[in-house]
Chain A
């Protein structure tokens, strides 16, 4: 399934500066695996050594934070918008 992935500023060195790239996969896990094939090394910045989403990064499929849904198993139907965003604080 073709999806689009928004890339945060600090990872754009992997995407030649592109803020948005296209991806592919039926789940978030597959999309991130494919992303790492297209942009080698980027996957290790989003996932830690054990394969979990790093604790200071938030990933959204559409409007939903995937920690509210099925995490890496969250489905990514065609046309999904995926956003990778560093956690920030303050209120």
Chain B
């Protein structure tokens, strides 16, 4: 399927193997047939100006000139995600001892996680390739994002999740009317199943957003980098803490920052990227600490289910980037995740899901162990909404008192 010259992909020109550089025509392929390396989108951007971006819509399509999407993407039926708040988090900064901290709050997306960004790019690719069904393997957030995007676009959907997910994520994945298949296994087993389905006639004409559309899908995470830079006044942060599941998001935020530098849209200055994992699923953190450049898979056991990928495909790149930029990869245990969720809620009024607890928990740990510079401009990502993982804090976030509706009862309850 040679679509290199097709206008559906805007400035994108080819797919290129991240390992060996072999080039392929833009198509629904994701692995290099030479070395199995992941394929990523290559571009010819031409001249991109701040003014053109600033006059665009208040969603990710303001960056369409930097994405593999058609020029008229903003007029098509899609979820128009992004342009989420970059919150100046002075209270949290003071509590942690940081001079300047922002929280990029991606719970503000249409399905309440950053996944709307990536799915929206994959959706355009699915349209271009003539797929009728949108699909994915998911740890929860992605399944909801795919269901919603397919509904908006008028496509069928069939999404696959591990059966033991949080109730809210199962409900959100099912409510949009597509097929939801729960698999008795871990995310990694669901992922493997989807990889086999894709080579089978059962999966004919299906766009698996994070498998055969993955090169397109993954580009959506670059918009986090673009937005953070633009919202800081066209400046890169000095240091940023990003959650690591597959490692794709962290890898693409780095790619986004480098593109902005290359295009002259921000000043070329060093930045440091830190990865955050939950201790119960920390294969990348373990590899970082051990000095390895490959990742030994693990069996996940953590409340941070959206990050519970035991065999992270982009793990090696996370290691490369953390080391190249002078960052690190760190992990926190489930108790620290819960504490961090409450800390962020208490200090900034932001209710994060467990993945956000992981990043804020790791932020706190990195400040304490001296890995983060307390005087440097810092950004931390919250990638999802706390309403999706209520169980994590439900036992602790309870009424202060239960009383009869009388002033006397209130006075008595709060006498001390």
Contact = CB atoms under 8 A, between A and B. Distances in A.
B49 interface: no
Given A19-B199, A56-B31, A88 B36 contact: no
Interface in B2-60: 19, 29-38
A65 B297 contact: yes
Contacts of B195: 8, 85-86, 88
Q: Which of A10, A45, A56, A68 has the largest count of B CB atoms less than 10 A from its CB?
A: A56
B307 A10 contact: no
A11 B195 CA distance: 14
Contacts of B137: 88, 90
Nearest to A19: B199
Contacts of B218: 89-90
A9 B311 contact: no
A35 to B, nearest CB: 16
A87 B217 contact: no
Interface string B290-323: 0000101101000000111101111010000000
Contact of B211 (A19, A54, A88): A88
Contacts of B36: 10, 45, 54, 56-57, 86-87
Interface in A49-91: 54-58, 60, 63, 65, 67-68, 83, 85-91
B136 interface: yes
Contacts of B199: 8-9, 19
A83 B197 CA distance: 13
Nearest to B188: A65
B339 to A, nearest CB: 23
30 contacts: A10-B31, A10-B32, A13-B33, A19-B200, A56-B19, A58-B311, A63-B189, A65-B311, A67-B297, A67-B311, A68-B297, A68-B299, A83-B192, A83-B196, A86-B36, A88-B30, A88-B195, A88-B211, A88-B313, A89-B248, A89-B312, A89-B313, A90-B118, A90-B142, A90-B210, A90-B246, A91-B142, A91-B187, A91-B246, A91-B309
